[in-house]
């Protein structure tokens, strides 16, 4: 029997649940797609800069502020969301941030008031930072153990890739229709984010800890003790695969017992 890495206090009640590897992989791919799409507005700004400046009546300095003001929102959002991650409402936070982020992109269709759109850009930056903070936390807790390093690496390329996607969207829609390019980004966020909305809450909860061995596609709990200590204090999945050699030896022992019993 393996010795737990962290002793479990008697008063601590950790719920052990069975997780699907496929579902965890789907959620991760969804997070990657969302990170790419949410960075698409920077590409739209680059491809339609002349028309945006003309339609909104922005000077060069104002346009620079228009493009950089989400960074101020990201700083404030980082301070807010780091504290909120300590609570067990991570799925609710994720859904709310996606909803606000997606909805803001439709404001471009409703008004060309530059002061309102400055506020829109600030809000987008504030809520966009949450997935960038939470995704590494999620990978640490729910990531498939042999692929965690690869998952972290993939997350790092989503921002530049998103800018390329946004530039393609802005170019395809022609610069004159830049409000519709932003709206298309919002539609993609809503569409991809729907997978997060319908996903079971247990795949986001900080309360769960997991221990067991892999029996085919099923994770079978073997103990009530906690094994694994996530750096985010969320627990880690430790999978103990059955040895195929032991499987055959066990079957041979059973067969010999049955033969002796019959005789």
**Would 6 be classed as within a structural domain?**
no
Q: Is residue 80 part of a domain?
A: yes
Lowest mean pLDDT among 54-58, 154-158, 247-251: 247-251
Q: Which of 203, 220, 242 is the last residue of a domain?
A: 203
**Domain assignment present for 141:** yes
Same domain, 146 and 90: yes
Beta bridge partners of 52: none
* Residue 234 pLDDT greater than 90, yes or no: no
If one compares 109 and 215, the residue with the highest pLDDT of the two is 109
Number of domains in the chain: 2
**Listed residues 160, 186, 203: the one ending a domain:** 203
Beta-bridge partners for 213:
220
Question: Looking at the domain assignment, is residue 92 inside a domain?
Answer: yes
Distances from the Cα of 145 to the Cα of 40, 162, 213, 228, angstroms: 30, 27, 13, 12
- Domain of 228 in residue numbering reads as 212-262
Q: 161, 181, 203: which is the final residue of a domain? A: 203
**Same-domain pairing of 139 and 30:** yes
Instruction: Tell me, yes or no, whether 23 and 91 share the same domain.
Output: yes
| Chain segment 169-213, per-residue pLDDT in tens | 888 887 788 999 999 999 999 999 999 999 988 888 877 655 444
For 19, half-sphere exposure in the C-beta direction (CA atoms, 13 angstrom radius) is 29
Residue 242 DSSP SS3: coil
Centre a 10 Å sphere on the Cβ of residue 202 and count the other Cβ atoms it contains. 15
Residue 24 sits at the vertex; the CA angle it makes with 31 and 133, to the nearest 5 degrees, is 40
pTM: 0.70
Does any domain span residue 8? no
Domain at 46, CATH number: 1.20.1250.20
Is residue 24 domain-shared with residue 50, that is, in the same domain?
yes
């Amino acid at each position: 029997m393996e010795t737990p890495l962290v002793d479990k206090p008697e008063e601590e009640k950790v719920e052990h649940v069975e997780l699907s590897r496929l579902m965890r992989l789907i959620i991760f791919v969804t997070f990657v797609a969302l990170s790419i799409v949410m960075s698409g507005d920077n590409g739209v700004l680059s491809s339609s800069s002349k028309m945006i400046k003309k339609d909104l009546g922005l000077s060069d300095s104002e346009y620079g502020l228009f493009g950089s003001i989400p960074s101020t929102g990201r700083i404030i959002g980082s301070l807010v969301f780091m504290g909120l991650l300590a609570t067990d409402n991570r799925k609710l936070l994720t859904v709310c941030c996606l909803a606000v982020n997606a909805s803001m992109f439709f404001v471009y269709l409703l008004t060309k008031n530059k002061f309102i759109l400055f506020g829109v850009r600030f809000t987008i930056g504030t809520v966009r930072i949450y997935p960038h903070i939470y995704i590494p936390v999620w990978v640490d807790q729910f990531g498939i153990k042999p692929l965690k390093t690869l998952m972290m690496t993939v997350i790092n390329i989503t921002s530049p890739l998103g800018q390329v996607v946004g530039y393609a969207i802005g170019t395809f829609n022609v610069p004159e229709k830049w409000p519709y390019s932003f709206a298309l980004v919002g539609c993609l966020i809503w569409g991809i984010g729907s997978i997060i909305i319908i996903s079971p809450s247990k795949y986001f909860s900080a309360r769960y800890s997991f221990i067991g061995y892999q029996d085919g596609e099923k994770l079978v709990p073997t103990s009530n003790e906690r094994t694994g200590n996530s750096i985010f204090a969320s627990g880690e999945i430790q999978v103990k695969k059955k040895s195929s050699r032991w499987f055959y030896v066990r079957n041979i022992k059973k067969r010999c017992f049955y033969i002796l019993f019959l005789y």
